[in-house]
């Protein structure tokens, strides 16, 4: 019987291929490539740089929040559901404040981050001190924040935002002229997404804090025994989720140039699904930034592809549903298979002895 | 017949009844002459069953340590399939459908929801997908299918026989409420007097020992998700009769309210504990609060904010309750055997959260 090293993986390259085949990200990347080829074959406009930059820009809002979701999933336990409500409240309040007092984009961003972090930290403290599962606490805070937003503001839509948001949205790092006489280029919004991805990657893989988050996700009691301050790690994670929700709120405002009180809430399950599809485990201690990026990218390409293929947007939910159900079923099936294989090996060894 | 021994320290309904009475008194004071009227009580009896059916459906999955996020989507799916079948069999004039056709259409809709339940059960039991993910996927899939089936429109105009289910009354009581009473009676027998209920609780409290006790986890999980979906189907039919219409996104916010009802009824989200009577009392409390606030002409979003505030208050309340309980036990233990005291109430002992 083949042991852990199969006959094919004699060379170093074989090991690399084997390791790659075990990664969720690899299958996701293949799926994305196939999807891209399919869409391009039918509508070549998909591969134009304008289109790619366009859907990257739209996906940025979900993408930024997804990084926060990844942190919560790695920390372990049930997922957080309040981050979209936090983003919604931050968006509305920041738009109101900048309209009233002016200011510039940096101040708006700082304000958004501070507000988001404070609201997120509340979750962390409540979860730690009252020992309740994340999903219950976050349902509570989400309802509270979102309900209060509506009660206090009457839920009216703000159609005019401070002009700085428009300037920020139109700023192009590199711009090119297109055939129609207009210009297109790399705007700052996808770069905000890139920055959060890099920041998330850095914290998770290059700092002690990141190790602590993984350790708590693996086994919280063990993490506490080796001297990790579980209170502060947990509060950091939830504050970080809130902070990223604040950043996402600013990105969203610059894209839609209005503040609609129900435009972000309701996306939370889709974002969590994207992160889980990217390989993060609901049992904690597992997940990568690359996978998260690919998961969000897959959904963005699906949405964009349906538009380009002239398929009604009704089918978007169906395709997302199929993607999630199929994705989790396949990965669960693989895990089961691996588990059974392990059990078999043990039995054989026991019999031989 | 099996009798389930009461779980040590299981939640007793006492405090819930106190909360219920307190809230009824509060709402009567806040709505002088409007709350304690026959018409308000009657409208509450019409509204209660929908939330109660969904909450029981949620509870059945929570007892096994799972969750069913797709309950509302399954309910809408049942309604939509039934409506489309009616339309199909009557050539578009669904209001004129005969009783037989209505029953056939309802049976098809119900079969659809059982199929959904079986699919979720398969994912959770056989593929061992975490319940929250499996039902989330099914929820999104069903939401999509619902929109595609209806084209995003509202389907309406149903035969009188179907509307009677939602709106008529027998012996002066609304039909949905009578259905609820029957369902609660059946469920309480199923959960506490039948092998299935016993196995469900055992599986939820300790899956490994349940497996060693020769409990077929596949069958029990499959059964619990099919049962949960059946409650969604029932809700779907009742909602159809009450609103005289079906749509892809009716009652979406109820998913979280049912989680709240289970939390209020102290159903353990990790399985194995939770009493039907507590959960139903929790649902009644939520209905009283929402009806009372509604009478006060409160903003519906104020009600949303209230749900959040209630959960947070409950979290704090339960924490201090168990903290005091532990303190009392500790005091008793030290009184009996003073040299074996073992520290304060668990402050320095690490405890996992999830």
Provide ipTM, 2 decimals.
0.78
Task: Name all domains of chain B by residue range, CATH numbers in brackets.
Answer: 14-27+37-298 (1.10.3470)
In the predicted structure, residue A280 carries a pLDDT above the cut 80: yes
Chain B contact for A146 (CB, 8 A cutoff): yes
Interface contact A324-B123, CB threshold 8 A: no
Q: Give chain A's radius of gyration (CA, Å).
A: 22
* Backbone phi and psi for residue A175, each to the nearest 5 degrees, phi listed first: -130, 150
Task: Count contacts between A and B (CB, < 8 Å).
Answer: 168
Burial class (CB in 10 A: 0-12, 13-18, 19+), A219: middle
Interface contact A316-B144, CB threshold 8 A: yes
* 8-state DSSP, B266: T
Please report, for chain A, how many H helices and E strands are present, in that order. Answer: 14, 2
The region that residue A186 occupies, defined by phi over 0 for left and psi between -120 and 50 for alpha, beta otherwise, is beta
DSSP A11-26: SHHHHHHHHHHT-HHH
Distance in angstroms (rounded) separating the CA atoms of residues B37 and B168: 20
Q: Is the dihedral of CA B49, B54, B58, B61 positive or negative?
A: positive
Question: Around Cβ A318, how many Cβ atoms within 10 Å?
Answer: 18
Both tokens assigned to A92: 């509305």
Averaged pLDDT, B66-86: 91
Q: How confident is the model at residue B71 (pLDDT cuts 50, 70, 90)?
A: very high
For residues A268 and A84, the answer to whether their CB atoms sit within 8 Å is yes
Burial class (CB in 10 A: 0-12, 13-18, 19+), A103: middle
Distance in angstroms (rounded) separating the CA atoms of residues A338 and A344: 10
In the predicted structure, residue B62 carries a pLDDT above the cut 60: yes
pLDDT of residue B229: 95
Distance in angstroms (rounded) separating the CA atoms of residues B73 and B65: 21
Interface contact A147-B147, CB threshold 8 A: no
In the predicted structure, residue A323 carries a pLDDT above the cut 70: yes
The mean-pLDDT minimum among B223-227, B305-309, B335-339 falls in: B335-339
3-class secondary-structure state, position A312? coil
Partner residue facing A328 (CB), from B129, B142, B260: B129
**A210-269 residues touching B, CB cutoff 8 A:** 220-221, 224-225, 230, 269
Host H or E run for residue A184: strand A183-187
In the predicted structure, residue B327 carries a pLDDT above the cut 60: yes
Question: How many alpha carbons fall within 13 Å on the CB side of residue A221?
Answer: 7
Q: How confident is the model at residue A4 (pLDDT cuts 50, 70, 90)?
A: very low
Interface contact A336-B128, CB threshold 8 A: yes
The rounded percent of chain B whose pLDDT value lies above 90 is 22
User: In chain A, what residues touch B312 (CB-CB under 8 Å)?
Assistant: 126, 137, 140-141, 144
**CA torsion, ordered B27, B28, B30, B32, to nearest 10 deg:** 150
**Percentage helix, strand, coil for chain A under 3-state DSSP, each rounded to 5:** 75, 5, 20
Averaged pLDDT, A136-165: 87
Both tokens assigned to B193: 């007097």
Q: Which of A22-31, A167-176, B47-56, B254-263 has the highest mean pLDDT?
A: B47-56
Chain B contact for A79 (CB, 8 A cutoff): yes
pLDDT per residue over A187-196, tens digit each? 888 999 999 9
Distance in angstroms (rounded) separating the CA atoms of residues A213 and A208: 9
Instruction: Work out the angle at residue A23's Cα, subtended by the Cα atoms of residues A18 and A26, and round it to the nearest 5 degrees.
Output: 95
Interface contact A150-B301, CB threshold 8 A: yes
Averaged pLDDT, A230-239: 95
Smallest CA–CA distance, residue A280 to chain B, in Å, is 12
User: In chain A, what residues touch B316 (CB-CB under 8 Å)?
Assistant: 130
* Axis-axis angle for helices B175-193, B195-205 (nearest 10): 70
State CA B278 to chain mean position distance. 12
Distance in angstroms (rounded) separating the CA atoms of residues A281 and A70: 9
For residues B150 and B246, the answer to whether their CB atoms sit within 8 Å is yes
In the predicted structure, residue B144 carries a pLDDT above the cut 50: yes
* Backbone phi and psi for residue B348, each to the nearest 5 degrees, phi listed first: -95, 0
Averaged pLDDT, A270-282: 86
What residue has token string 């002229």? A177
Question: Around Cβ B185, how many Cβ atoms within 10 Å?
Answer: 10
* 8-state DSSP, A157: -
């Amino acid at each position: 019987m083949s042991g852990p090293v199969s006959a094919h993986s004699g060379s170093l390259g074989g090991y690399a291929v084997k390791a790659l085949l075990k990664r969720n990200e690899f299958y996701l990347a293949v799926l994305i490539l196939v999807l891209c080829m399919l869409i391009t074959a039918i509508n070549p406009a998909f591969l134009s740089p304008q289109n790619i930059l366009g859907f990257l820009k739209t996906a940025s809002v979900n993408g930024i929040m997804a990084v926060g979701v990844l942190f919560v999933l790695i920390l372990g336990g049930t997922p957080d559901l309040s981050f979209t409500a936090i983003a919604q409240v931050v968006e509305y309040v920041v738009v109101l404040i900048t309209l009233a007092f002016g200011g510039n984009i940096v101040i708006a961003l700082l304000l958004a981050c501070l507000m988001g972090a404070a609201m997120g930290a509340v979750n962390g403290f409540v979860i730690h001190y009252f020992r309740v599962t994340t999903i219950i606490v976050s349902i509570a805070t989400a309802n509270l924040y979102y309900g209060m937003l509506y009660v206090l503001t009457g839920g009216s839509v703000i159609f005019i935002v401070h002009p700085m948001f428009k300037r920020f949205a139109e700023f192009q790092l590199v711009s090119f002229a297109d055939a129609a006489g207009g210009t297109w280029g790399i705007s700052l919004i996808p770069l905000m997404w890139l920055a959060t991805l890099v920041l998330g990657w850095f914290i998770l893989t290059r700092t002690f804090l990141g190790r602590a988050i993984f350790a708590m996700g693996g086994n919280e009691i063990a993490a506490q025994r080796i001297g990790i301050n579980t209170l502060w790690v947990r509060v950091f994670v939830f504050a970080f989720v809130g902070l990223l929700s604040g950043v996402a709120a600013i990105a969203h405002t610059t894209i839609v140039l209005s503040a609609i009180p129900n435009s972000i809430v309701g996306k939370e399950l889709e974002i969590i699904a994207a992160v889980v599809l990217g390989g993060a485990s609901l049992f904690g201690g597992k997940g990568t930034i690359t996978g998260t990026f690919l998961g969000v990218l897959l959904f963005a390409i699906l949405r964009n592809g349906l538009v380009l293929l002239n398929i009604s947007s009704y089918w978007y939910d169906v395709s997302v549903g199929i993607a999630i159900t199929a994705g989790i079923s396949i990965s669960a099936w693989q895990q089961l298979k691996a588990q059974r294989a392990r059990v078999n090996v043990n039995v054989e060894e026991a019999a031989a002895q | 017949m099996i009798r389930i021994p009461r779980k040590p320290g299981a939640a007793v309904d006492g405090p819930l009844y106190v909360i219920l009475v307190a809230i009824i008194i509060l709402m009567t004071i806040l709505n002088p002459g409007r709350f304690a009227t026959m018409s308000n009580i009657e409208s509450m009896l019409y509204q209660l069953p929908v939330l109660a059916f969904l909450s029981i459906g949620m509870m059945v999955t929570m007892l096994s340590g799972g969750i069913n996020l797709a309950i509302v989507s399954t309910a809408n799916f049942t309604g939509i399939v039934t409506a489309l079948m009616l339309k199909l069999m009557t050539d578009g004039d669904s209001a004129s459908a005969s009783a037989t056709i209505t029953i056939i259409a309802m049976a098809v809709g119900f079969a659809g929801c059982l199929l959904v339940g079986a699919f979720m059960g398969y994912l959770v039991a056989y593929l061992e997908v975490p319940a929250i993910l499996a039902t989330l996927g099914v929820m999104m899939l069903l939401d999509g299918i619902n929109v595609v089936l209806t084209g995003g429109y509202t389907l309406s105009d149903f035969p009188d026989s179907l509307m009677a289910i939602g709106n008529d009354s027998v012996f002066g009581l609304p039909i949905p409420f009578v259905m609820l009473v029957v369902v609660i009676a059946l469920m309480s027998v199923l959960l506490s007097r039948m092998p299935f209920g016993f196995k469900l609780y055992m599986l939820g409290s300790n899956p490994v020992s349940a497996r060693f006790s020769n409990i077929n986890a596949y069958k029990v999980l499959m059964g619990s998700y099919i049962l949960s979906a059946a409650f969604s189907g029932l809700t779907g039919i009742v909602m159809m009769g009450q609103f005289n219409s079906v749509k892809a996104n009716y009652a979406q916010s109820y998913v979280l309210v049912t989680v709240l009802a289970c939390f209020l009824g102290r159903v353990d989200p990790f399985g194995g504990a939770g009493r039907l009577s507590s959960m139903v009392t929790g649902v009644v409390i939520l209905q009283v609060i929402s009806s009372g606030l509604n009478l006060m002409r409160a903003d519906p979003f104020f009600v949303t904010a209230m749900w959040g505030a209630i959960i947070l208050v409950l979290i704090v309340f339960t924490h201090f309750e168990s903290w005091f309980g532990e303190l009392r036990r500790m005091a008793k233990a030290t009184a009996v055997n003073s040299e074996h005291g073992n520290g304060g109430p668990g402050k320095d002992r690490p405890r996992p959260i999830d």
